[in-house]
Structure 1
Amino acid sequence: MKKIFVSLSVIIILLFSCISSITAETITLYTSVPQNIIDNIKKDFESRNPDINLEIYRSGTNKVLAKLTAEKDAGNIKADVIWVADFSVYENLKEDNLLRPYQAPEAKYLPKEYYDSEGYYYGARLINMVLGYNTRFLRGNNIPDSWFDLLDPRFKNKVGSSSPDRSGAFFVTTGAFATTPGLGWEYFEKFAKQNPASDSNTGIAKKIATGELLMGFVLDYKIRKMKQKGSPIDFVWPKEGAVMVPSPIGIISTTDNFEASKRFVNYSISREGQHEFAQNG
């Protein structure tokens, strides 16, 4: 009798597991958020929402948009939610009727300039473009404190950055520089004469840490992670100002999973979601 009871218990557990698996709704996220960070976000979100499976396509902003555009042209968009690092992308998507508005309850805690008043997108993550440098080779008075230090002839061939066609964050940075008095597009014309290395934001940070480069445009969270692991790298907030890059999230208008998508968007800007970001960079 005891064996029968145990067997029935196992069957019931397996049955409920199967039912849970069958009823779980799947939403697909297209994002440029780094893989290790978004994997942890997925894990935390699914633990809080066991009835939703979050599938992820992760690549650079331009590749994400290229995939979305190709699917749009084919009439088969697979994404439910998009999360990349550029507000202008969302204005374009909104204009093309590719976003579905949602008034997220958690938005009341966000500064108004970080989300669309009609609910088409929300700044769910804030990253900063800062001036990174190698702490082994640049010390004391040689530590940079200005974006113009990247233009110093002494550092020719020893500086670097990503590029607007590779990084949404650097696209925002380029626009910010181009429209800022005292910097302008002329800054990048001078920067080009330094023969700067071009790589991903992660690649530039690694090159600085190894000493291949001495300084460059780098995202703050990448440097913090490397510094914590003992790499000889740090960053400064340039006296002209760093570039803040809010990374928005929005729901694709063609989604068949609107309710589940709303829950993920709301989670991303909630206290719990933001805490998870703070833990992971």
Structure 2
Amino acid sequence: MSHLCLLLRAGLASALVLLASCRIESAAPSDAPASTVQEGAPSGEVWVYTSMYQHVLDALAPLLKEKLPNVQVHWYQAGSEKVASRLEAERAAGAVRADVIATSDPFLYERLAREGSFLRYASPNVLRVPRALLDLDARYAAVRLSTMVLVHRQGDVPPPASFADLVGQRWLGRVAIGDPLTSGTAFTWAVFIHEKYGGAFFAQLRHKGAIVAGGNAAVLQKVESGEVDAGVLLLENALAAKARGSPIEIVWPEDGAVVIPGHVALFHTTRNPVAAKALVDVLLSLEGQRIIVGKGDMHAVDDRLEGPRGEDGLELLMTRSQLWTPALIERGLTRGGEIKETFSKAFSR
């Protein structure tokens, strides 16, 4: 750790002049004034807008109460798309209530970061997060990992080996996918597919009779019911379904699973930066990460933990997944509308 960043961690005002030169590789930078860095125990209220499952939030509650006894945490919980809509409405009105956002829409974070909406902060725990899954300028970082894989209904038909297999003749009319026009995770998958195979892949899926099912729950239902034999689904949904006896099998695609980071960020308008930062620290702590794995069936960003329900841990997950790159983030951010339009045209024919 550099001498500059050690001074910064100590809250010395003189270090703040050079803050812009600090990056996560060497320290945990913060935009907060030096006076707030050294304040006492966190207290007051914190509002978190999140797409994390309610049962995960319920499991986190005792840990937050233990670690932050004087902080009252309020949650607005909804899907990533609904969280984004509420946030945009509040921004338009000039009154953002959220102190912290924790959703699974990587492109939203990059857009808001570029607009200067976030308070720079890197928890000491963020140094364990793979660099591909955080912003090196400390504007946001992943706290949980969802993963798009293939699922296959148990039976005589051999499973697909890859996403590319879904346009093969064998899967004519027997595949379900999510709708990137309404599902954030399906959109992220579509961005990766567009990057790897081009927009023509959507037309090929349509030509082979792929069913656009809406969200992940709808995809799962169609595979379980036998309406289709295979689908593109979040690993966490597949694991939970298998645990309750669902007749499906999980297939790790040979062309790479799609990891969708659930980021966390602090708004620069937060009224309680001390408590907001402390909450982020808890989410990234070993205890917080263990709850995310155990209750949410998601992968932790801490490589000390195994994957959910016996799955491989973080290191192997990253080797089995397609890489997040600056070019891919740019594609989703600047060409997202074009990708959605290409998909829409393909499936409206």
For normalisation by structure 2, the TM-score amounts to 0.69
Q: Whole-Å Cα distance in 2 between the matches of residues 125 and 264 of structure 1?
A: 15
Match of residue 75 from structure 1: 94
Q: Which residue of 1 aligns with 2:122?
A: 103
Equivalents in 2 of 1:94, 1:202: separation in Å? 31
Give the conservation status (yes or no) of the 8 Å contact 1:62–1:166: yes
SS at match of 2:179: coil
Q: 1:237 aligns with which of 236, 252, 272?
A: 252
1:124, 1:247 within 8 Å by CA — same for their partners in 2? yes
Q: Indicate whether 1:168 and 2:187 are aligned.
A: no
Rate the CA distance shift 1:257–1:229 in 2: closer, same or farther, 3 A.
same
Runs of 5+ consecutive residues of structure 2 not aligned to the other structure: 1-41, 298-349
Q: Are 1:209 and 2:224 matched, yes or no?
A: yes
Report the Cα distance in structure 2 between the residues aligned to 1:185 and 1:37, rounded to whole angstroms. 36
Say whether the 8 Å CA contact 1:61–1:166 is kept in structure 2: no
The one-letter code of the counterpart of 1:188 is: F
RMSD: 1.8
Question: 1:92 — aligned with what?
Answer: 111
| Structure 1: runs of 5 or more not aligned | 1-22
Q: Structure 1 residue 261: deviation in Å? A: 0.8
**Aligned residue identity for 1:45:** L
Aligned partner of 2:20 in structure 1 is none
**Secondary structure of the equivalent of 2:48?**
strand
Structure 1 residue aligned with 2:200: 186
Deviation at 1:61, TM superposition (A): 1.6
- The structure whose Rg is larger is 1
Distance 1:147 1:195, change over 3 A: closer
Change (3 A) 1:165 1:37: farther
The whole-number CA distance in structure 2 between the counterparts of 1:130 and 1:82 is: 26
1:11-160 aligned within 5 A: 25-135=44-154, 138-139=155-156, 142-160=158-176
Equivalent AA in structure 2 for residue 227 of structure 1: K
Identity %: 29
Which residue identity does 2:123 align to in structure 1?
A
Q: Which has the higher contact order (CA 8 A, sep 6+)?
A: 1
Q: Distance in 2 between matches of 1:260 and 1:160?
A: 43
Write the distance in 1 (CA, Å) between the matches of 2:228 and 2:72. 42
Q: Is the contact between residue 150 and residue 231 of structure 2 (CA under 8 Å) also seen in structure 1?
A: yes
- 1:35/1:165 CA distance change after superposition, 3 Å: farther
Q: Superposed, which structure 2 residues align to 1:197-276 within 5 Å? A: 197-276=212-291
Cα distance, 1:208 vs structure 2: 1.3
**1:181-238 CA distances to partner (integer Å, 9 max, x unpaired)?**
xx22221111123141322112211221222322111001111111011111121011
SS of the residue corresponding to residue 76 of structure 1 reads coil
Structure-1-length-normalised TM-score: 0.84
- Number of matched residues? 254
